[in-house]
């Protein structure tokens, strides 16, 4: 086995798109986005002859606490490939690169369950659990959207169904946009959200670059919920091969009794199904033991 850089978008995307579970954090576009944001990136492939066994998107993060190499939701393995041997090869390769870049550590956020051999493979290579999480969720809620509307609605809580129908009766309108300039509309709602909830927001440059990169392949949309001609809720949705991702969301408290966000989510689910997606990923949630 050997590691080689992959510089062909088609070769990378063909591999990533046929492997499940799917994640846009290992897409070609996510690498391009991080390059725009100033990161050095590595698109690595593990080969056995001409056979591609795994891919690994890594970027150099320069932080005050120390620079490090980061692999989000990876590596991604072909079906049937032994993970441990490949992971050992990648780790050895990245350790050399990390030393060149004066990195403090290498970090992986693999898209696997934290149990059994998945966890042990990392522990055997002297990895340890990270003390803090990054901006990517450690726990996500994922919905199968291939079922008919009636079945999806019946599987929701009664209050959720009520809120969707109430928003429709209240006259909430959902507008979908692929226009980059609508970032300003999103930002107005987003700014109110991070002021109200006191969290550190992504920058406008971050959101603009993300939208521009994914828009080139028609893989991103703004969703706006309007009431009384005002935008009261908004979302940025990223689409991948078989999934839609609720990557950024915002709302205003002005019309808190109007359940506009519920109707917005319902329209996202329907759009995901139109695009042939199997899953809708609601992104980060907290565990039941972390109220």
| CA dihedral for 44, 137, 280, 111, sign (positive or negative) | positive
Task: Provide the 3-class DSSP secondary structure of residue 235.
Answer: strand
Radius of gyration of the chain (CA): 20
pLDDT of residue 207: 98
Phi-psi region of 191 (alpha: psi -120 to 50; beta: other; left: phi over 0): alpha
H helices of the chain, in order, are 9-17, 28-36, 83-100, 116-124, 149-154, 158-169, 183-197, 204-215, 260-274
pLDDT of residue 29: 97
Cβ neighbours of residue 275 under 8 Å, at least 6 residues apart?
Answer: 239, 244
pLDDT of residue 40: 96
pLDDT of residue 275: 94
What whole-number distance in Å separates Cα of residue 233 and Cα of residue 265?
Answer: 10
pLDDT of residue 291: 67
The tens place of each residue's pLDDT in the chain, 291 residues long, gives 999 999 999 999 999 998 876 889 999 999 999 999 999 999 999 999 999 999 999 999 998 888 999 999 999 999 888 889 999 999 999 999 999 999 999 999 988 776 777 788 888 999 998 888 777 877 888 999 999 999 999 999 999 999 999 999 999 999 999 999 999 999 999 999 998 888 889 999 999 999 999 999 999 999 999 999 999 999 999 999 899 999 999 999 999 899 999 999 999 999 999 999 999 999 988 878 876
């Amino acid at each position: 086995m050997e590691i080689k850089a992959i510089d062909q978008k088609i070769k990378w995307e063909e591999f990533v798109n046929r492997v499940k579970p799917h994640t846009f954090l290992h897409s070609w576009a996510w690498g391009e986005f991080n390059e725009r944001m100033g990161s050095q990136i590595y698109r690595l492939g593990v080969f056995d002859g001409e056979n591609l066994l795994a891919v690994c998107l890594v970027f150099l993060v320069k932080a005050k606490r120390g620079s490090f190499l980061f692999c989000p939701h990876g590596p991604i393995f072909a079906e049937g490939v032994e993970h441990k041997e490949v992971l050992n090869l990648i780790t050895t390769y990245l350790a050399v690169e990390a030393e060149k870049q004066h990195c403090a550590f290498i970090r992986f956020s693999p898209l696997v369950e934290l149990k059994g051999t998945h966890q042990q493979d990392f522990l055997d290579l002297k990895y340890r659990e990270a003390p803090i999480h990054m901006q990517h969720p450690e726990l996500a809620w994922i919905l199968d959207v291939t079922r008919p509307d009636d079945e999806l609605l019946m599987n929701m809580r009664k209050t959720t169904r009520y809120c969707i129908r109430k928003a429709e009766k209240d006259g909430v309108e959902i507008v979908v946009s692929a226009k980059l300039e609508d970032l300003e509309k999103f930002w107005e709602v987003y700014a109110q959200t991070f002021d109200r909830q006191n969290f550190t927001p992504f920058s406008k440059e971050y959101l603009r670059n993300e939208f521009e990169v994914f828009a080139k392949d028609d893989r991103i949309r703004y969703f706006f919920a309007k009431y009384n001609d005002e935008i009261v809720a908004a979302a940025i949705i990223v689409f991948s091969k078989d999934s839609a991702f609720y990557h950024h969301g915002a709302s205003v408290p002005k019309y808190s009794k109007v359940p506009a966000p519920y109707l917005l989510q319902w329209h996202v689910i329907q759009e995901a199904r139109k695009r042939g997606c199997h899953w809708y990923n609601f992104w980060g949630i907290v565990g039941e033991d972390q109220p």
